[in-house]
Amino acid sequence: MMLSKLFVELQRIGKALMLPVAVLPAAALALRLGAPDVFDVAFINAAGGAIFSELPLLFAIGIAIGIAKDEAGAAGLAGAIGYLSLTRAVKAFDESLNMGVFAGIIAGFMAGALYNRFHEIKLPDFLGFFSGKRFVPIATVFFSCVIACVCGVLWGYCQTAISILGTKLAEAGAVGAGVYGVLNRALLPFGLHHILNSYIFFIFGEYTTNTGVIATGELNRFFAGDPTAGFFLSGFYPVMMFGMPALALAIYHTTEKSKRKKIAGLMTSLALTSFLTGVTEPIEFLFMFVAPMLYALHAVLTGVSLAVAYALQIRQAFGFSAGLIDYCLSYGLASKPLLLIPLGLMVGVVYYAAFRFAIVKFNIQIMGKETEKAAPADNSDASDKHADLALNILEFLGGKENVKELGNCITRLRIEVKDGDKIKVDELQRLDKVKGVIKTGNAAQIIIGTEAEEVAVAVHKLR
């Protein structure tokens, strides 16, 4: 029971973190297209830079909305108020304290929790105007003061600890990057990699720009011009642009010849998605649950790629993920980016050879399940193409009355139900478009792919 509750909370955190992160591709695009070495359009560059410079505030707003049960805008307002109150109050204790993105994360979770607790509160008639959702921002100010008192005393020690951790991680060099790569992929099946990424992307390291702005995290520092940022992330490019497409080719070549024609389009689409955008989950979920041993191999190879790229002193980060689009956009800020091409080709060869050998050696039928997908239930009144799938999902979750909470991130539905025993995992896994299902107690994740948000909307329409 305790494990189930922990899983629910962790997946809620992962979901909440994705909302502010989702804006980064647009920010990176504007920042790079407006840069002097690209089109040199100052106002576009400034628009993109503004998002990166205000990341803590975006995290406060986005996380608060993500944590709120009904994703209400009032929670986002409370998040912004919480962040502003917290940071100013902490500065009153000590001007040298800099909570950075942590302040946004703390404020976001605080505001979201307060919204869930107080958004329906009833006050006496003479204070009736402040009842319900209007009470949440007020409560946020008071709680921000309490947290500021704690942080004002303790954050100096936390700041020192974070600095030491960042230093140790940097000193670990290629080994540190390799360990991060392995953990990044190992946590992905549970949707918890966002938590680890949040530290590396937005907190790890510190850089002060020429204008005095302090940037933290690999992504923010890289786009701010820090010459030491990007080493921990460059190794993702060979995996996502070359390794995963090679893996898709290995799956195609090891599938029974009679089935290859059916999967050719799918494998091509998944390979191109990974190559162009760096979105790898649709491929990973093909074999993640069917052959965990292969996924463990993938995690290790990802770590090796990150370690080698670091050892070669290749420095290149990304705004969204390590695909061709981000490669081109961040090329002008990178160091030794051309080395990623031959490294990527070598990674592709290793992936193809290793996965083809393992699939043949252990007779793993990765695409066997794909040909046994259940047909969607009849729903002739459906107004969109996802309605049939949504109807089946609700049925196999134990009915809409059993669903307590349902949200989504980029590739998966995140669900909490009242009775986990009513979830029919096998039936869910056989549904068309469902790549896999993770269930722990009353919490579940249904991996859909890049259409997860549309499916979530369709499910909500039926509730």
pLDDT in tens, 274-298: 999 998 988 888 888 778 899 999 9
Among 415, 402, 417, which residue's Cα sits nearest to residue 456? 415
Q: How far apart, in whole angstroms, are the C-alpha atoms of residue 323 and residue 326?
A: 6
Amino acid identity for residue 272 in this structure? L
The pTM for the full model equals 0.80
Q: How confident is the model at residue 383 (pLDDT cuts 50, 70, 90)?
A: very low
* Six token digits for residue 365: 């039928």
Q: Mean pLDDT over all residues of the chain?
A: 88
Burial category of 128 from C-beta neighbours within 10 Å (exposed 0-12, middle 13-18, buried 19 and up): exposed
Catalytic annotation present for 151: no
Write down the residue that tokens 């009353």 correspond to: 442
Q: What is the mean pLDDT of residues 91-101?
A: 90
| Least confident among 97-111, 311-325, 359-373, 405-419 | 359-373
**In contact, 101 and 216? CB cutoff 8 Å:** yes
**In contact, 376 and 431? CB cutoff 8 Å:** yes
Q: How confident is the model at residue 191 (pLDDT cuts 50, 70, 90)?
A: confident
What are the residue ranges of CATH 3.30.1360.60 in the chain?
A: 373-462
Of all residues in the chain, what percent carry a pLDDT higher than 70? 94
DSSP state of 376: P
- What is the per-residue pLDDT for 392? 93
- What is the per-residue pLDDT for 384? 59
Fold for the domain defined by 373-462:
Gyrase A; domain 2 (3.30.1360)
- What is the per-residue pLDDT for 368? 53
Distance of CA 181 to the CA centre of its chain: 15
What is the gyration radius of the CA atoms in the chain, in angstroms?
23
Its sign, for the CA torsion 6, 8, 13, 14, is positive
Q: How confident is the model at residue 234 (pLDDT cuts 50, 70, 90)?
A: very high
Q: How far apart, in whole angstroms, are the C-alpha atoms of residue 116 and residue 129?
A: 19
pLDDT at 374 > cutoff 60 = no
- What is the per-residue pLDDT for 395? 94
| Least confident among 184-188, 229-233, 450-454 | 450-454
Rounded (10°) angle between helices 340-361 and 292-311? 160
Q: Among the options 145, 149, 151, 409, which is catalytic?
A: 409
